[in-house]
Amino acid sequence: MVVKTTDAEFAQLLQSNENVVVKYFANWCGNCRLFAPKFNRMSDKEEYKGVKFLDINAEENPEARKLGGVNNLPFFAVFKGGKLVAADSTSKEEMVEKLIKQII
Protein backbone atom coordinates (compact mmCIF):
# COMPACT_ATOMS: atom_id res chain seq x y z
CA MET A 1 0.00 0.00 0.00
CA VAL A 2 1.23 3.45 -0.93
CA VAL A 3 0.66 6.18 1.66
CA LYS A 4 0.19 9.77 0.48
CA THR A 5 2.00 12.10 2.84
CA THR A 6 2.96 15.73 3.43
CA ASP A 7 5.83 17.67 5.00
CA ALA A 8 3.93 17.59 8.30
CA GLU A 9 4.10 13.76 8.49
CA PHE A 10 7.19 12.99 6.44
CA ALA A 11 9.90 13.17 9.13
CA GLN A 12 7.80 11.07 11.51
CA LEU A 13 7.23 8.41 8.83
CA LEU A 14 10.98 8.28 8.11
CA GLN A 15 11.75 7.81 11.81
CA SER A 16 9.06 5.21 12.49
CA ASN A 17 9.86 2.99 9.48
CA GLU A 18 13.28 1.41 8.95
CA ASN A 19 13.01 1.09 5.14
CA VAL A 20 11.20 3.75 3.12
CA VAL A 21 10.84 4.39 -0.61
CA VAL A 22 9.38 7.71 -1.72
CA LYS A 23 7.87 8.66 -5.07
CA TYR A 24 7.95 12.42 -5.59
CA PHE A 25 5.40 13.66 -8.11
CA ALA A 26 3.58 16.75 -9.37
CA ASN A 27 -0.01 16.94 -10.56
CA TRP A 28 1.07 18.21 -13.99
CA CYS A 29 3.63 15.38 -14.49
CA GLY A 30 2.34 12.84 -17.03
CA ASN A 31 5.12 10.32 -16.34
CA CYS A 32 4.32 10.54 -12.62
CA ARG A 33 0.69 9.61 -13.31
CA LEU A 34 1.73 6.77 -15.63
CA PHE A 35 4.07 5.34 -12.99
CA ALA A 36 1.51 5.41 -10.15
CA PRO A 37 -0.07 1.99 -10.89
CA LYS A 38 3.39 0.37 -11.14
CA PHE A 39 4.38 1.88 -7.78
CA ASN A 40 1.15 0.57 -6.25
CA ARG A 41 1.86 -2.93 -7.58
CA MET A 42 5.41 -2.80 -6.21
CA SER A 43 4.11 -1.88 -2.77
CA ASP A 44 2.05 -5.11 -2.75
CA LYS A 45 4.98 -7.40 -3.58
CA GLU A 46 5.79 -9.90 -0.84
CA GLU A 47 9.53 -9.24 -1.17
CA TYR A 48 8.96 -5.59 -0.20
CA LYS A 49 6.72 -6.21 2.81
CA GLY A 50 9.28 -4.54 5.13
CA VAL A 51 9.36 -1.36 3.04
CA LYS A 52 7.06 1.64 3.57
CA PHE A 53 5.96 3.17 0.24
CA LEU A 54 5.25 6.91 0.29
CA ASP A 55 3.84 9.27 -2.32
CA ILE A 56 4.53 12.98 -1.91
CA ASN A 57 3.71 16.00 -4.03
CA ALA A 58 7.12 17.64 -4.60
CA GLU A 59 5.64 21.06 -5.35
CA GLU A 60 3.54 21.25 -2.19
CA ASN A 61 6.11 19.78 0.23
CA PRO A 62 9.47 21.60 0.02
CA GLU A 63 10.99 20.02 3.15
CA ALA A 64 10.47 16.47 1.90
CA ARG A 65 11.70 17.52 -1.55
CA LYS A 66 14.89 18.90 -0.01
CA LEU A 67 15.50 15.74 2.06
CA GLY A 68 15.27 13.61 -1.07
CA GLY A 69 17.40 15.90 -3.25
CA VAL A 70 14.69 16.05 -5.93
CA ASN A 71 15.94 17.49 -9.23
CA ASN A 72 13.38 16.15 -11.72
CA LEU A 73 10.08 14.25 -11.75
CA PRO A 74 9.13 11.52 -11.22
CA PHE A 75 11.84 11.15 -8.59
CA PHE A 76 12.43 8.25 -6.21
CA ALA A 77 14.43 8.16 -2.99
CA VAL A 78 15.13 5.33 -0.57
CA PHE A 79 15.78 5.88 3.13
CA LYS A 80 17.10 3.47 5.75
CA GLY A 81 16.87 4.41 9.41
CA GLY A 82 15.77 7.92 8.42
CA LYS A 83 18.86 8.53 6.25
CA LEU A 84 18.88 8.99 2.48
CA VAL A 85 20.63 5.99 0.88
CA ALA A 86 20.05 6.56 -2.84
CA ALA A 87 17.86 8.51 -5.24
CA ASP A 88 17.15 8.74 -8.95
CA SER A 89 14.87 10.45 -11.41
CA THR A 90 13.41 7.68 -13.53
CA SER A 91 10.28 6.29 -15.14
CA LYS A 92 11.62 2.74 -15.30
CA GLU A 93 10.28 0.15 -12.90
CA GLU A 94 13.54 -1.82 -12.87
CA MET A 95 15.48 1.29 -11.77
CA VAL A 96 13.12 1.84 -8.83
CA GLU A 97 13.48 -1.82 -7.86
CA LYS A 98 17.29 -1.42 -7.92
CA LEU A 99 16.92 1.49 -5.49
CA ILE A 100 14.69 -0.54 -3.18
CA LYS A 101 17.12 -3.46 -3.17
CA GLN A 102 19.75 -1.13 -1.66
CA ILE A 103 17.75 -0.90 1.57
CA ILE A 104 16.46 -4.46 2.04
* DSSP-H helix ranges across 2-57: 7-16, 30-43
Catalytic-labelled residue, pool 13, 14, 29, 103: 29
Is 47 a catalytic site residue? no
Catalytic-labelled residue, pool 22, 32, 78, 100: 32
Report the C-alpha gap between 79 and 58 in whole angstroms. Answer: 17
Is 82 a catalytic site residue? no
Count helices and strands (H / E) in the chain: 4, 5
Provide the 3-class DSSP secondary structure of residue 60.
coil
Using an 8 Å Cβ cutoff, are 94 and 42 in contact? no
Report the catalytic residues: 29, 32
